[in-house]
Structure 1
Amino acid sequence: MSKAAIRPRGAGRRSASWTQDPEGVRRSILDAARLEFVENGLSGARVDEIAARTATSKRMIYYYFGDKEGLYRAVLEEMYERIRAFERGLDLASLEPEEAMARLTGFTFDYHAENPDFVRMVMIENIHHGRHLATSDRIATLNLSGIDVIREAYGRGVASGVFRPGIEPIDIHLTISALAFYNVSNRASIRQVFGHDMGAPEALARRRESAIDTVLRMLRR
Protein backbone atom coordinates (compact mmCIF):
# COMPACT_ATOMS: atom_id res chain seq x y z
CA MET A 1 0.00 0.00 0.00
CA SER A 2 1.39 3.44 -0.91
CA LYS A 3 2.10 6.18 1.63
CA ALA A 4 -0.61 8.29 0.00
CA ALA A 5 -3.14 5.55 0.65
CA ILE A 6 -2.44 5.48 4.42
CA ARG A 7 -2.13 9.24 4.92
CA PRO A 8 -4.48 10.41 7.76
CA ARG A 9 -7.69 11.94 6.57
CA GLY A 10 -7.34 15.73 6.25
CA ALA A 11 -3.52 15.63 6.54
CA GLY A 12 -3.10 16.97 3.03
CA ARG A 13 -5.03 20.10 3.95
CA ARG A 14 -3.13 20.97 7.11
CA SER A 15 0.12 22.45 5.82
CA ALA A 16 -1.68 24.63 3.30
CA SER A 17 -4.60 25.80 5.42
CA TRP A 18 -2.62 27.68 8.04
CA THR A 19 -0.85 29.80 5.41
CA GLN A 20 -4.03 30.47 3.44
CA ASP A 21 -6.22 31.28 6.44
CA PRO A 22 -4.15 31.64 9.63
CA GLU A 23 -6.95 33.38 11.54
CA GLY A 24 -9.37 30.62 10.56
CA VAL A 25 -6.93 28.00 11.84
CA ARG A 26 -6.46 29.91 15.08
CA ARG A 27 -10.24 30.14 15.48
CA SER A 28 -10.60 26.41 14.84
CA ILE A 29 -7.95 25.61 17.46
CA LEU A 30 -9.64 27.83 20.06
CA ASP A 31 -13.04 26.23 19.42
CA ALA A 32 -11.61 22.72 19.75
CA ALA A 33 -9.59 23.66 22.83
CA ARG A 34 -12.64 25.12 24.55
CA LEU A 35 -14.48 21.80 24.14
CA GLU A 36 -11.50 19.83 25.44
CA PHE A 37 -10.92 22.07 28.47
CA VAL A 38 -14.62 22.18 29.36
CA GLU A 39 -14.84 18.40 29.20
CA ASN A 40 -11.57 17.54 30.95
CA GLY A 41 -10.26 20.61 32.74
CA LEU A 42 -6.77 22.01 32.28
CA SER A 43 -5.00 19.05 33.87
CA GLY A 44 -6.93 16.39 31.97
CA ALA A 45 -6.97 18.11 28.57
CA ARG A 46 -4.65 16.71 25.90
CA VAL A 47 -3.18 18.74 23.07
CA ASP A 48 -3.26 15.59 20.89
CA GLU A 49 -7.05 15.50 21.28
CA ILE A 50 -7.35 19.19 20.43
CA ALA A 51 -5.29 18.66 17.28
CA ALA A 52 -7.47 15.68 16.35
CA ARG A 53 -10.57 17.90 16.48
CA THR A 54 -9.07 20.37 13.98
CA ALA A 55 -7.49 20.43 10.54
CA THR A 56 -4.11 21.31 12.00
CA SER A 57 -1.28 19.63 13.93
CA LYS A 58 0.04 19.60 17.48
CA ARG A 59 3.11 21.45 16.21
CA MET A 60 0.95 24.26 14.82
CA ILE A 61 -0.93 24.57 18.11
CA TYR A 62 2.36 25.18 19.88
CA TYR A 63 3.34 27.61 17.12
CA TYR A 64 0.25 29.73 17.78
CA PHE A 65 -0.04 29.44 21.57
CA GLY A 66 3.32 28.31 22.98
CA ASP A 67 2.11 25.49 25.22
CA LYS A 68 -1.07 24.00 26.71
CA GLU A 69 -1.32 26.68 29.39
CA GLY A 70 -0.91 29.41 26.78
CA LEU A 71 -3.75 27.86 24.81
CA TYR A 72 -5.91 27.60 27.93
CA ARG A 73 -5.25 31.27 28.71
CA ALA A 74 -6.18 32.24 25.16
CA VAL A 75 -9.49 30.37 25.50
CA LEU A 76 -10.23 32.23 28.74
CA GLU A 77 -9.40 35.56 27.09
CA GLU A 78 -11.66 34.82 24.14
CA MET A 79 -14.55 33.88 26.44
CA TYR A 80 -14.24 37.04 28.54
CA GLU A 81 -13.90 39.16 25.41
CA ARG A 82 -17.15 37.69 24.10
CA ILE A 83 -19.27 38.49 27.15
CA ARG A 84 -17.79 41.99 27.50
CA ALA A 85 -18.43 42.66 23.78
CA PHE A 86 -22.08 41.68 24.21
CA GLU A 87 -22.31 43.97 27.24
CA ARG A 88 -20.97 46.90 25.22
CA GLY A 89 -23.62 46.20 22.60
CA LEU A 90 -26.39 46.76 25.15
CA ASP A 91 -25.79 50.54 24.92
CA LEU A 92 -26.75 51.03 28.56
CA ALA A 93 -25.69 54.69 28.53
CA SER A 94 -28.72 55.48 26.36
CA LEU A 95 -31.16 54.00 28.89
CA GLU A 96 -32.62 55.36 32.11
CA PRO A 97 -30.65 54.02 35.14
CA GLU A 98 -33.27 51.49 36.30
CA GLU A 99 -33.82 50.20 32.79
CA ALA A 100 -30.06 49.98 32.26
CA MET A 101 -29.54 47.88 35.40
CA ALA A 102 -32.54 45.68 34.59
CA ARG A 103 -31.24 45.07 31.07
CA LEU A 104 -27.71 44.31 32.30
CA THR A 105 -29.01 41.86 34.91
CA GLY A 106 -31.32 40.14 32.45
CA PHE A 107 -28.58 39.92 29.84
CA THR A 108 -26.08 38.49 32.33
CA PHE A 109 -28.59 35.89 33.49
CA ASP A 110 -29.42 34.89 29.91
CA TYR A 111 -25.79 34.80 28.82
CA HIS A 112 -24.78 32.41 31.60
CA ALA A 113 -27.82 30.19 30.99
CA GLU A 114 -27.10 30.01 27.26
CA ASN A 115 -23.30 29.62 27.62
CA PRO A 116 -22.65 26.96 30.27
CA ASP A 117 -19.14 26.47 28.83
CA PHE A 118 -18.26 29.95 30.13
CA VAL A 119 -19.43 28.99 33.63
CA ARG A 120 -17.51 25.72 33.47
CA MET A 121 -14.29 27.48 32.43
CA VAL A 122 -14.59 30.00 35.27
CA MET A 123 -15.11 27.12 37.71
CA ILE A 124 -12.02 25.36 36.35
CA GLU A 125 -9.96 28.53 36.68
CA ASN A 126 -11.05 28.89 40.31
CA ILE A 127 -9.76 25.37 40.95
CA HIS A 128 -6.40 26.73 39.77
CA HIS A 129 -6.74 29.74 42.12
CA GLY A 130 -7.12 32.16 39.22
CA ARG A 131 -3.42 32.02 38.34
CA HIS A 132 -4.01 32.21 34.58
CA LEU A 133 -6.33 35.18 34.95
CA ALA A 134 -3.60 36.85 37.00
CA THR A 135 -1.15 36.62 34.11
CA SER A 136 -3.52 38.06 31.49
CA ASP A 137 -3.47 41.84 31.17
CA ARG A 138 -6.12 41.52 28.48
CA ILE A 139 -8.65 39.93 30.83
CA ALA A 140 -7.92 42.46 33.57
CA THR A 141 -8.62 45.31 31.16
CA LEU A 142 -11.77 43.66 29.83
CA ASN A 143 -13.25 43.09 33.27
CA LEU A 144 -12.47 46.60 34.47
CA SER A 145 -14.51 47.87 31.53
CA GLY A 146 -17.42 45.79 32.82
CA ILE A 147 -17.21 47.57 36.18
CA ASP A 148 -17.07 50.92 34.39
CA VAL A 149 -20.40 50.16 32.69
CA ILE A 150 -22.01 49.56 36.08
CA ARG A 151 -20.36 52.62 37.62
CA GLU A 152 -21.77 54.86 34.89
CA ALA A 153 -25.36 53.61 35.15
CA TYR A 154 -25.31 53.54 38.95
CA GLY A 155 -23.80 57.04 39.13
CA ARG A 156 -26.57 58.42 36.94
CA GLY A 157 -29.14 56.71 39.15
CA VAL A 158 -27.68 58.24 42.31
CA ALA A 159 -27.50 61.69 40.70
CA SER A 160 -31.16 61.50 39.67
CA GLY A 161 -32.27 60.28 43.08
CA VAL A 162 -33.43 56.87 41.84
CA PHE A 163 -30.64 54.84 43.49
CA ARG A 164 -29.35 55.14 47.02
CA PRO A 165 -25.73 56.26 47.38
CA GLY A 166 -22.88 54.35 48.99
CA ILE A 167 -22.89 51.09 47.01
CA GLU A 168 -19.63 50.02 45.41
CA PRO A 169 -19.90 49.12 41.70
CA ILE A 170 -17.94 45.90 42.36
CA ASP A 171 -20.65 44.81 44.84
CA ILE A 172 -23.33 45.41 42.22
CA HIS A 173 -21.33 43.34 39.74
CA LEU A 174 -20.82 40.52 42.25
CA THR A 175 -24.54 40.37 43.04
CA ILE A 176 -25.53 40.24 39.37
CA SER A 177 -22.85 37.67 38.61
CA ALA A 178 -23.74 35.47 41.59
CA LEU A 179 -27.43 35.37 40.65
CA ALA A 180 -26.58 34.37 37.07
CA PHE A 181 -23.66 32.03 37.81
CA TYR A 182 -25.21 29.89 40.55
CA ASN A 183 -28.19 29.07 38.37
CA VAL A 184 -25.83 27.21 36.03
CA SER A 185 -22.93 26.10 38.25
CA ASN A 186 -25.18 24.29 40.77
CA ARG A 187 -27.78 22.97 38.38
CA ALA A 188 -26.76 19.30 38.76
CA SER A 189 -26.54 19.33 42.57
CA ILE A 190 -29.86 21.16 43.01
CA ARG A 191 -31.54 18.64 40.72
CA GLN A 192 -30.20 15.74 42.79
CA VAL A 193 -30.86 17.26 46.22
CA PHE A 194 -34.23 18.90 45.63
CA GLY A 195 -35.48 17.35 42.41
CA HIS A 196 -35.67 20.86 40.94
CA ASP A 197 -34.48 21.55 37.39
CA MET A 198 -33.10 25.09 37.32
CA GLY A 199 -32.62 24.76 33.56
CA ALA A 200 -36.30 24.20 32.81
CA PRO A 201 -37.83 27.09 30.81
CA GLU A 202 -40.37 28.05 33.46
CA ALA A 203 -37.73 27.90 36.22
CA LEU A 204 -35.35 30.04 34.18
CA ALA A 205 -38.03 32.65 33.53
CA ARG A 206 -38.94 32.80 37.21
CA ARG A 207 -35.33 33.08 38.37
CA ARG A 208 -34.54 35.70 35.73
CA GLU A 209 -37.39 37.89 36.96
CA SER A 210 -36.29 37.33 40.55
CA ALA A 211 -32.68 38.28 39.72
CA ILE A 212 -33.74 41.58 38.16
CA ASP A 213 -36.04 42.34 41.09
CA THR A 214 -33.27 41.55 43.60
CA VAL A 215 -30.77 43.88 41.95
CA LEU A 216 -33.23 46.76 41.63
CA ARG A 217 -34.31 46.38 45.26
CA MET A 218 -30.65 46.51 46.23
CA LEU A 219 -30.18 49.80 44.38
CA ARG A 220 -33.42 51.72 44.90
CA ARG A 221 -33.87 54.33 47.61
Structure 2
Amino acid sequence: MEPTERKKSSRTYDAARTKVIILDAAEEIFAELGYSAARIDGIAKASGYNKSMIYQYFGDKLGLYTEVVKRADQIGDQATGSTITDFLKNDNLIKDPVVFRRFLGTITREIYEFLLEHPRYLKILSWEAAEDWKTWNQITYRPDDITQLYELAKTAKKSGIIRQDFDPAMFPILIMNMTTATIQAFSRYGNMLGKLDSPQIREQTIEQIAKFIIHGVIEPSLL
Protein backbone atom coordinates (compact mmCIF):
# COMPACT_ATOMS: atom_id res chain seq x y z
CA MET A 1 0.00 0.00 0.00
CA GLU A 2 1.33 3.44 -0.93
CA PRO A 3 2.06 5.89 1.96
CA THR A 4 -0.76 8.21 0.86
CA GLU A 5 -3.19 5.26 0.82
CA ARG A 6 -2.10 4.21 4.32
CA LYS A 7 -2.57 7.76 5.57
CA LYS A 8 -6.03 8.01 4.02
CA SER A 9 -7.03 4.63 5.49
CA SER A 10 -5.80 5.72 8.93
CA ARG A 11 -7.85 8.93 8.80
CA THR A 12 -10.94 6.99 7.73
CA TYR A 13 -10.50 4.54 10.60
CA ASP A 14 -9.92 7.32 13.12
CA ALA A 15 -12.99 9.22 11.93
CA ALA A 16 -15.16 6.13 12.28
CA ARG A 17 -13.78 5.42 15.75
CA THR A 18 -14.24 9.04 16.78
CA LYS A 19 -17.88 8.99 15.71
CA VAL A 20 -18.52 5.82 17.72
CA ILE A 21 -16.98 7.34 20.85
CA ILE A 22 -19.02 10.52 20.47
CA LEU A 23 -22.22 8.55 19.84
CA ASP A 24 -21.57 6.40 22.92
CA ALA A 25 -21.12 9.50 25.07
CA ALA A 26 -24.16 11.20 23.54
CA GLU A 27 -26.34 8.13 24.08
CA GLU A 28 -25.35 8.07 27.75
CA ILE A 29 -26.07 11.78 28.26
CA PHE A 30 -29.38 11.70 26.36
CA ALA A 31 -30.43 8.64 28.34
CA GLU A 32 -29.63 10.23 31.70
CA LEU A 33 -30.84 13.79 31.06
CA GLY A 34 -33.21 13.62 28.11
CA TYR A 35 -32.78 15.68 24.96
CA SER A 36 -33.86 19.03 26.43
CA ALA A 37 -31.42 19.01 29.36
CA ALA A 38 -28.49 17.49 27.48
CA ARG A 39 -25.73 19.91 26.47
CA ILE A 40 -23.10 19.61 23.77
CA ASP A 41 -20.52 20.77 26.33
CA GLY A 42 -21.33 17.79 28.52
CA ILE A 43 -21.25 15.36 25.62
CA ALA A 44 -17.91 16.77 24.45
CA LYS A 45 -16.45 16.36 27.94
CA ALA A 46 -17.77 12.81 28.27
CA SER A 47 -16.41 11.82 24.85
CA GLY A 48 -13.02 13.45 25.27
CA TYR A 49 -13.42 15.48 22.07
CA ASN A 50 -14.07 19.19 21.64
CA LYS A 51 -17.35 20.69 20.49
CA SER A 52 -16.02 21.59 17.07
CA MET A 53 -15.47 17.89 16.34
CA ILE A 54 -19.07 17.11 17.25
CA TYR A 55 -20.39 19.92 15.06
CA GLN A 56 -18.12 18.78 12.23
CA TYR A 57 -19.49 15.25 12.25
CA PHE A 58 -23.10 15.76 13.30
CA GLY A 59 -24.01 19.38 12.56
CA ASP A 60 -25.84 20.24 15.79
CA LYS A 61 -27.47 18.64 18.83
CA LEU A 62 -30.51 17.47 16.90
CA GLY A 63 -28.27 15.92 14.23
CA LEU A 64 -26.31 14.10 16.93
CA TYR A 65 -29.52 12.91 18.58
CA THR A 66 -30.79 11.70 15.23
CA GLU A 67 -27.68 9.57 14.75
CA VAL A 68 -28.06 8.11 18.26
CA VAL A 69 -31.64 7.09 17.48
CA LYS A 70 -30.67 5.79 14.04
CA ARG A 71 -27.89 3.61 15.43
CA ALA A 72 -30.14 2.14 18.13
CA ASP A 73 -32.89 1.45 15.60
CA GLN A 74 -30.48 -0.29 13.25
CA ILE A 75 -29.19 -2.46 16.09
CA GLY A 76 -32.79 -3.29 16.94
CA ASP A 77 -33.46 -4.23 13.32
CA GLN A 78 -30.48 -6.57 13.40
CA ALA A 79 -31.87 -8.21 16.54
CA THR A 80 -35.47 -8.65 15.37
CA GLY A 81 -35.49 -8.08 11.62
CA SER A 82 -34.44 -11.58 10.60
CA THR A 83 -37.14 -13.12 12.78
CA ILE A 84 -39.88 -10.98 11.24
CA THR A 85 -38.55 -11.65 7.74
CA ASP A 86 -38.37 -15.41 8.27
CA PHE A 87 -41.92 -15.56 9.59
CA LEU A 88 -43.23 -13.35 6.79
CA LYS A 89 -41.79 -15.80 4.29
CA ASN A 90 -43.82 -18.58 5.90
CA ASP A 91 -47.08 -18.93 3.96
CA ASN A 92 -48.73 -20.51 7.01
CA LEU A 93 -48.21 -17.43 9.18
CA ILE A 94 -51.60 -15.95 8.28
CA LYS A 95 -53.27 -19.34 7.83
CA ASP A 96 -52.24 -21.34 10.87
CA PRO A 97 -52.99 -19.88 14.33
CA VAL A 98 -50.28 -22.07 15.85
CA VAL A 99 -47.64 -20.47 13.63
CA PHE A 100 -49.05 -17.01 14.37
CA ARG A 101 -48.92 -17.64 18.12
CA ARG A 102 -45.33 -18.80 17.79
CA PHE A 103 -44.53 -15.61 15.89
CA LEU A 104 -46.05 -13.47 18.66
CA GLY A 105 -44.07 -15.29 21.32
CA THR A 106 -40.82 -14.99 19.37
CA ILE A 107 -41.12 -11.31 18.47
CA THR A 108 -42.13 -10.44 22.03
CA ARG A 109 -39.08 -12.23 23.38
CA GLU A 110 -36.67 -10.56 20.95
CA ILE A 111 -37.99 -7.04 21.56
CA TYR A 112 -37.94 -7.58 25.32
CA GLU A 113 -34.39 -8.93 25.34
CA PHE A 114 -33.19 -6.14 23.04
CA LEU A 115 -34.56 -3.49 25.42
CA LEU A 116 -33.02 -5.21 28.43
CA GLU A 117 -29.65 -5.33 26.70
CA HIS A 118 -29.88 -1.65 25.67
CA PRO A 119 -31.14 0.18 28.77
CA ARG A 120 -29.98 3.56 27.48
CA TYR A 121 -32.28 3.31 24.48
CA LEU A 122 -35.12 2.35 26.80
CA LYS A 123 -34.42 5.48 28.87
CA ILE A 124 -34.39 7.63 25.73
CA LEU A 125 -37.80 6.23 24.78
CA SER A 126 -39.02 7.04 28.30
CA TRP A 127 -37.81 10.63 28.01
CA GLU A 128 -39.52 10.96 24.65
CA ALA A 129 -42.80 9.66 26.04
CA ALA A 130 -42.56 12.07 28.97
CA GLU A 131 -42.04 14.97 26.55
CA ASP A 132 -44.85 13.85 24.22
CA TRP A 133 -42.37 12.70 21.53
CA LYS A 134 -41.61 16.33 20.71
CA THR A 135 -38.00 15.77 19.66
CA TRP A 136 -38.69 12.39 18.06
CA ASN A 137 -41.07 14.07 15.63
CA GLN A 138 -38.39 16.58 14.61
CA ILE A 139 -35.62 14.19 13.60
CA THR A 140 -35.02 13.46 9.94
CA TYR A 141 -34.57 9.70 10.48
CA ARG A 142 -37.85 7.85 10.91
CA PRO A 143 -37.59 4.50 12.69
CA ASP A 144 -40.21 2.31 10.99
CA ASP A 145 -40.89 -0.43 13.48
CA ILE A 146 -44.63 -0.64 12.95
CA THR A 147 -45.46 -0.84 9.23
CA GLN A 148 -44.69 -4.54 8.75
CA LEU A 149 -46.51 -5.50 11.92
CA TYR A 150 -49.50 -3.36 11.00
CA GLU A 151 -49.76 -4.87 7.52
CA LEU A 152 -49.38 -8.34 8.97
CA ALA A 153 -52.17 -7.70 11.47
CA LYS A 154 -54.51 -6.46 8.74
CA THR A 155 -53.94 -9.60 6.69
CA ALA A 156 -54.28 -11.87 9.72
CA LYS A 157 -57.57 -10.20 10.61
CA LYS A 158 -58.91 -10.81 7.10
CA SER A 159 -57.96 -14.48 7.37
CA GLY A 160 -59.75 -14.79 10.72
CA ILE A 161 -56.74 -15.35 12.97
CA ILE A 162 -56.98 -11.97 14.66
CA ARG A 163 -60.26 -11.20 16.40
CA GLN A 164 -62.64 -9.07 14.39
CA ASP A 165 -63.15 -6.49 17.14
CA PHE A 166 -59.41 -5.73 17.27
CA ASP A 167 -57.97 -2.72 15.42
CA PRO A 168 -54.81 -3.83 13.49
CA ALA A 169 -53.30 -0.37 14.07
CA MET A 170 -53.08 -1.28 17.77
CA PHE A 171 -51.11 -4.45 17.05
CA PRO A 172 -47.56 -2.99 16.91
CA ILE A 173 -48.42 -0.49 19.67
CA LEU A 174 -49.55 -3.30 21.97
CA ILE A 175 -46.41 -5.35 21.40
CA MET A 176 -44.01 -2.41 21.86
CA ASN A 177 -45.78 -0.84 24.82
CA MET A 178 -46.34 -4.07 26.73
CA THR A 179 -42.64 -4.94 26.56
CA THR A 180 -41.45 -1.41 27.30
CA ALA A 181 -43.88 -0.68 30.13
CA THR A 182 -43.23 -4.00 31.85
CA ILE A 183 -39.48 -3.46 31.99
CA GLN A 184 -40.00 0.09 33.29
CA ALA A 185 -42.34 -1.16 36.01
CA PHE A 186 -39.97 -3.74 37.45
CA SER A 187 -37.88 -1.27 39.44
CA ARG A 188 -41.02 0.13 41.01
CA TYR A 189 -42.52 -3.25 41.89
CA GLY A 190 -39.31 -5.16 42.46
CA ASN A 191 -40.32 -6.15 45.98
CA MET A 192 -43.29 -8.01 44.53
CA LEU A 193 -42.03 -9.10 41.10
CA GLY A 194 -38.38 -9.79 41.84
CA LYS A 195 -35.39 -8.67 39.80
CA LEU A 196 -34.94 -8.98 36.05
CA ASP A 197 -31.34 -10.07 36.46
CA SER A 198 -32.77 -13.44 37.50
CA PRO A 199 -32.98 -15.69 34.40
CA GLN A 200 -36.03 -17.45 35.84
CA ILE A 201 -37.95 -14.21 36.46
CA ARG A 202 -36.94 -12.86 33.06
CA GLU A 203 -38.27 -16.00 31.37
CA GLN A 204 -41.52 -15.92 33.36
CA THR A 205 -42.03 -12.28 32.48
CA ILE A 206 -41.53 -12.85 28.76
CA GLU A 207 -44.01 -15.73 28.85
CA GLN A 208 -46.59 -13.64 30.68
CA ILE A 209 -46.32 -10.75 28.21
CA ALA A 210 -46.58 -13.12 25.26
CA LYS A 211 -49.68 -14.79 26.73
CA PHE A 212 -51.32 -11.42 27.33
CA ILE A 213 -50.68 -10.34 23.74
CA ILE A 214 -51.73 -13.69 22.26
CA HIS A 215 -55.00 -13.78 24.18
CA GLY A 216 -55.62 -10.13 23.42
CA VAL A 217 -55.37 -10.34 19.64
CA ILE A 218 -56.09 -13.88 18.48
CA GLU A 219 -59.65 -14.98 17.73
CA PRO A 220 -60.85 -16.63 20.98
CA SER A 221 -62.19 -19.70 19.20
CA LEU A 222 -58.64 -20.43 17.96
CA LEU A 223 -56.99 -20.37 21.37
What TM-score range do you get, normalising by the shorter chain? 0.7 to 0.9
5+ residue gaps in structure 1? 1-15
Cα-Cα RMSD: 2.6
1:105-144 counterparts in 2 under 5 A?
Answer: 105-139=108-142, 142-143=143-144
The answer to whether the Cα contact below 8 Å between 1:38 and 1:121 also exists between their aligned partners in 2 is yes
Give how far 1:124 is off. Answer: 1.3
Give how far 1:195 is off. Answer: 4.4
TM-score by length of 2: 0.76
The answer to whether the Cα contact below 8 Å between 1:113 and 1:183 also exists between their aligned partners in 2 is no
1:197 corresponds to which of 194, 200, 205: 194
The answer to whether the Cα contact below 8 Å between 2:66 and 2:140 also exists between their aligned partners in 1 is no
In 1, the alpha carbon distance for the partners of 2:14 and 2:169 equals 41
Give how far 1:77 is off. Answer: 2.8
Give how far 1:37 is off. Answer: 1.8
| CA spacing shift, 1:19–1:94, aligned 2, 3 Å | closer
SS of corresponding position for 1:169: coil
| CA spacing shift, 1:217–1:20, aligned 2, 3 Å | closer
Q: Which residue of 2 aligns with 1:12?
A: none
The answer to whether the Cα contact below 8 Å between 2:115 and 2:121 also exists between their aligned partners in 1 is yes
TM-score by length of 1: 0.77
Q: Give the partner amino acid of 1:50.
A: I
In 2, the alpha carbon distance for the partners of 1:37 and 1:29 equals 12
Q: Which residue of 2 aligns with 1:170?
A: 169
Q: Give the partner amino acid of 2:180.
A: F
Q: Which residue of 1 aligns with 2:217?
A: 219
Give how far 1:40 is off. Answer: 2.9
1:23 corresponds to which of 16, 37, 46: 16
Q: Give the partner amino acid of 2:119.
A: P
From the two aligned structures, give the one with the greater helix fraction: 1
Q: Give the partner amino acid of 1:169.
A: P
In 1, the alpha carbon distance for the partners of 2:217 and 2:192 equals 33
Q: 175-184 or 45-54, which moves further after superposition? A: 45-54
| CA spacing shift, 1:43–1:148, aligned 2, 3 Å | closer
1:33 corresponds to which of 11, 26, 29: 26
Q: Aligned residue pairs: how many?
A: 200
Q: 67-76 or 112-121, which moves further after superposition? A: 67-76
Say whether 1:48 aligns with 2:41: yes
**Share of identical aligned residues, percent?**
22
Q: Which residue of 2 aligns with 1:72?
A: 65
